[in-house]
Structure 1
């Protein structure tokens, strides 16, 4: 065994933590006719052996060689073969024998509850996004995301589906409903089902829950064939402390901060990566590029960004350490995020990153060269919280909460926003979207239809969690499939039909998406009618196109409601009325397809109860 197993120039980059593709050299790699090369970063270890099916799990038989002062241990095992299980046996700096460790760079893993790494085939060859897929990620393109927890979307025979089963149904379903992207909750290897993937330990391995890794490539291809982009939830903010994982990997806090005031996450009982270490930055940024470059995904939604940005996140005074400048920002985490977004921009053109970030941190979606974090989009958590709080109110009280719908437009163009109605809003006792709505069953459905209409007409890209497109009445259960039989009931089927029509209109009409992130694409027509809980605004495409959105958010019809339109047109056509009978509504007010004649720019509309209307000038 010798250093020649890793080329000198690659070893130098790995040692400095500057290799953009560390997965090509670390981990297990089959060498044709020679066996398997194993390489692992463990700078403080006194000894590292690879153990597995090929040596009866005997740490005396295949001791790896330390490659100079790189911190990397490497060796060639002639007896090892594709598909075999393995782990690393390490002696810590004091000679203590550590629990057997899974390979941080493994590209496949054993199915839980077992946790060995698997000798896998070579990483997929790099695949650039097509021009069409790159165009679908642009900020002036429509982006409507269907968020999916793959293990519980459908459960054939009560089990987790494999990638081919998902590929046979999910892409066609999402495409039929008009979504542009599918976003998967984390699918990298994780030990605990109840974490939904957010406590991952194998950031280079598609989870064994879904079958062999190559199945994921087929799933991505199936989505692309349907015109759908694939976004992955990706979690660099923390990792679980399982003994076989990253915790005290070489007998020292190698991957995590040493001080618990920096390295322990009190909310999730997890460990926080030491973002200051070059080897950790290389590990994390490499994982991001790996999914984009090798698997051809269209983007990464980065989880828990707020917890990365602030050292005092969820901590009381005295429970956190300030940065080198005495402040609360985590400067190393900020540098990591800027670095990974820069690397992705250079190495994976067209791939986008989306930040789940809940604070007022400035410039999340601003370019790195302008001092921003470099994300393409940011989740608008403020919009989500305010609008859900508004719709929970009984309509008779909404006049007192009118500003919850108007305030978001004060900052709506400060970032490139995604409007998220995500899984986080339908778990832990929060109930489903339908269950949040007040009133009897009819009013609950009407409220939800009006809310979704408001969302699709509002500036910003869209995200909706699975099951909410047809009004799941109970909160999401990750151990059961969605209640698909509800679609046999007219109201649920009608809601799904509305989501399809909203997506089709959003994609078809440039005024609803081209200037989603630009102030020039929006103008209030009625923002002050809090007494009647009516709002109206115009959306523009910058090229003469316009769409008007009108919301009546009480169960009281408003016949002859006067509205001054944004331009002079002889008539205005109604494209969507969320109260239409096809959607399960009462079919009151101005019907879909109707032409409303305007006197100059003044229009009189019959507003249905608890409904949103979309209108555009008729030729």
Structure 2
């Protein structure tokens, strides 16, 4: 059949072709691809810059049609007289390409996917939106899809089309505001972005994929098509034990790490370690020190290194700074094989304003609030997620599940929870909008946290969620069905501030602030707490932990050792930021490295050994763990001796068979014959003394103590003790049945 030019134009108008050629057409499938008009079979292609285009039969290679130019903007058309699958043979100025026609494929996402996306309950967005290598109608390629309901036109751009937004405009699925396109013969590793026109037809900056599963390392900003090949995990034993045991009675001792500054390779441009190198060095290091978990400052792709990851834009993508997503999975796998859990800091509170990111993604305030009184953090110059929008809530929950399910991560520490719970957070009167009841509580955030934690508990029942929440918001770790937010643990910021303030005082004045060390027990069981000595305490001019301690160099280290002993003896799970374990004397710098050279000095190496021994004791002794969450496992042995600045904590195992007495002397004066009442007679063994010579101490004290029948502190028996200066001592009594009866 002979086709006239007018035949090739059927179903189009000049304005439509012009809009398509200029990249302004919102429905490219209406013109491009194969169309049947009665007996006419017309194929059209948009290929700016092509010299010639042929349609060939996919099975036989037979030429079905030579397309002719119907618009000078690179639109070709021809009649094929065939409905068989076809390919394009495209003659470019420097190459000939054969490929399937992206506009020959039908719709890609199913109606259920679209319904769940619009409802905000599609929790597998990382395998639905974004760039997914797959086979469609027998053809290998990549399916691209993106949520942009208010855009007039969306295109995929990348190296494969010279970043030309005219080449691959997408199809809109209006019921969910999602645009989609399958591009054949692409594979993982391709760089790409999305190019959008807003509702008024204005060209927006090219946008990175919000659901990209791989990204270029900063300062580059493109998304990368990630492989869909499943990672070969070797952590079955770990995952099985995690399913069988939630570990609430276990030791949880967390080593918090900023990966970029843990170790840098100075003779290679001061570069950070990659995931493989971290698996070889960080994992055995944390394992040797007895930490149960490694917690990483955010590793979701982020543009500005100075944000330490707390301003992420790739909530589904491990940062390219340390390697590929497969390399990250390898790191997690190696952690699990070494018996170490992985916790990630995760940031649903805000995102940066970079124009290639989420900000006004489709020309409107899509992910953020439109009103800056709700949608802008002045403290961080960032935008706030609109948690009142279903799609945004679904996006964030799907991000959390991506790490927990697909990367086997064991927990998420949610950053800046307080900033989400209060509408007036860091705002003056008149700078915030009350909730529907006129209050300051962010009801949408409350609902979000309850929903998030409920979904995680349902789908990942043994993953932990931890809230960095710095106020007295009630029920942070209560179950949602009981009116709480549903977190497993909360950072005890009050304990950290009070005790650090106390420890920074000269011992002469500590007696006036004695309650700084005891006050935390008044609310210790109101939530399930982690005691955090985190990165926040060693930045912004605060100095290092050891620098906060008073006295000369020896006294500073002794104070720090005593403080660590008190912390490990105190109810609550433990967290320590890198460098603290070697008493790093300089404030942390994200551009630097931990001062590993300090380990050449015996006193700093001694602090490291103390942390290892504290972790070992904590893991070994049920008495040091039971009271973390259960008040019957803790009692004050001495709480009111302000004059001597002495504290005594009695920790007891769940079955009552074992007790640990933790005594801290927070002055440089040794206490001879200091008497403390205890619940069981007999011998108490010193199992750890922070003043021991191996830790850099003066080696005062004793190895054991025997009770005397002399009442003290409400007890019938008491121990006469030798308390070393600026030290914490742990004494253990294994009760026999006769002791228990006594």
Query: What's the TM-score once normalised by structure 1's chain length?
Result: 0.98
CA contact (8 A) 2:115 2:175 kept: no
Give the secondary structure class of the aligned counterpart of 1:547.
Answer: strand
Aligned residues: 616
Give the secondary structure class of the aligned counterpart of 1:587.
Answer: coil
Relative to structure 1, the CA distance from residue 92 to residue 123 in structure 2 (aligned partners, 3 Å threshold; closer, same or farther) is farther
2-structure distance, mates of 1:247, 1:7: 28
Task: Give the structure 2 partner of residue 30 of structure 1.
Answer: 133
Task: Give the structure 2 partner of residue 372 of structure 1.
Answer: 484
1:290 corresponds to 2:366 = no
Task: Give the structure 2 partner of residue 6 of structure 1.
Answer: 109
2-structure distance, mates of 1:472, 1:140: 31
Equivalent position to 1:560, from 673, 679, 684: 673
2-structure distance, mates of 1:165, 1:24: 29
CA contact (8 A) 1:570 1:618 kept: no
Task: Give the structure 2 partner of residue 533 of structure 1.
Answer: 645
Cα displacement (A) at 1:77: 1.1
CA contact (8 A) 2:231 2:329 kept: no
Task: Give the structure 2 partner of residue 154 of structure 1.
Answer: 263
CA contact (8 A) 1:459 1:513 kept: yes
2-structure distance, mates of 1:351, 1:570: 42
Task: Give the structure 2 partner of residue 550 of structure 1.
Answer: 663
2-structure distance, mates of 1:216, 1:167: 9
1:90 corresponds to 2:196 = yes
Deviations, residues 571-609 of structure 1 (Å, cap 9, x unaligned): 100011100101000011224xx3434436211000000
Give the secondary structure class of the aligned counterpart of 1:292.
Answer: helix
1:81 corresponds to 2:187 = yes
Structure (1 or 2) with the larger CA radius of gyration:
2
Cα displacement (A) at 1:123: 6.9
Give the secondary structure class of the aligned counterpart of 2:343.
Answer: strand
1:208 corresponds to 2:348 = no
Equivalent position to 1:318, from 417, 430, 442: 430
Equivalent position to 2:706, from 581, 596, 602: 596
Cα displacement (A) at 1:474: 0.5
Equivalent position to 1:608, from 715, 724, 731: 724
Relative to structure 1, the CA distance from residue 547 to residue 361 in structure 2 (aligned partners, 3 Å threshold; closer, same or farther) is same
Cα displacement (A) at 1:616: 1.2
Equivalent position to 2:619, from 507, 512, 516: 507
CA contact (8 A) 2:661 2:730 kept: yes
2-structure distance, mates of 1:596, 1:152: 48
2-structure distance, mates of 1:20, 1:372: 22
Deviations, residues 63-118 of structure 1 (Å, cap 9, x unaligned): 10001321000011125332111111100011111000000000001121110100
Greater strand content: 2
Cα displacement (A) at 1:472: 0.1
Task: Give the structure 2 partner of residue 44 of structure 1.
Answer: 150
Pick which of 245-254 and 113-122 moved more. 113-122
Give the secondary structure class of the aligned counterpart of 1:5.
Answer: coil
Task: Give the structure 1 partner of residue 448 of structure 2.
Answer: 336
CA contact (8 A) 2:385 2:392 kept: yes
1-structure distance, mates of 2:182, 2:574: 49
Structure having greater relative contact order (Cα 8 Å, sep ≥ 6):
1
Give the secondary structure class of the aligned counterpart of 2:254.
Answer: strand
1-structure distance, mates of 2:291, 2:669: 32
Deviations, residues 279-321 of structure 1 (Å, cap 9, x unaligned): 1001100000110000001000000000010000000001100
Task: Give the structure 2 partner of residue 108 of structure 1.
Answer: 214
Cα displacement (A) at 1:4: 3.4
Task: Give the structure 1 partner of residue 83 of structure 2.
Answer: none
CA contact (8 A) 1:136 1:143 kept: no
Cα displacement (A) at 1:519: 1.1
Structure 2's unaligned 5+ residue stretches are 1-102, 710-715, 736-742
Equivalent position to 2:278, from 160, 166, 180: 166
1-structure distance, mates of 2:114, 2:545: 52
1:516 corresponds to 2:622 = no
Relative to structure 1, the CA distance from residue 396 to residue 3 in structure 2 (aligned partners, 3 Å threshold; closer, same or farther) is farther
Equivalent position to 1:140, from 249, 254, 258: 249
1:358 corresponds to 2:470 = yes
Give the secondary structure class of the aligned counterpart of 2:161.
Answer: coil
Relative to structure 1, the CA distance from residue 492 to residue 586 in structure 2 (aligned partners, 3 Å threshold; closer, same or farther) is same
Equivalent position to 2:372, from 247, 255, 260: 260
2-structure distance, mates of 1:134, 1:302: 22
Give the secondary structure class of the aligned counterpart of 2:465.
Answer: strand
Equivalent position to 1:54, from 160, 164, 174: 160
* Structure 1 vs Structure 2 CA RMSD: 1.4
1-structure distance, mates of 2:460, 2:291: 23
Cα displacement (A) at 1:133: 3.1
2-structure distance, mates of 1:135, 1:448: 37
CA contact (8 A) 1:126 1:294 kept: no
1:68 corresponds to 2:174 = yes
Give the secondary structure class of the aligned counterpart of 1:51.
Answer: strand
CA contact (8 A) 2:707 2:718 kept: no
Give the secondary structure class of the aligned counterpart of 2:720.
Answer: strand
CA contact (8 A) 1:139 1:416 kept: no
2-structure distance, mates of 1:486, 1:195: 27
Equivalent position to 1:277, from 379, 385, 389: 389
Deviations, residues 534-584 of structure 1 (Å, cap 9, x unaligned): 11020111201211111100000000001101x222110001110010100
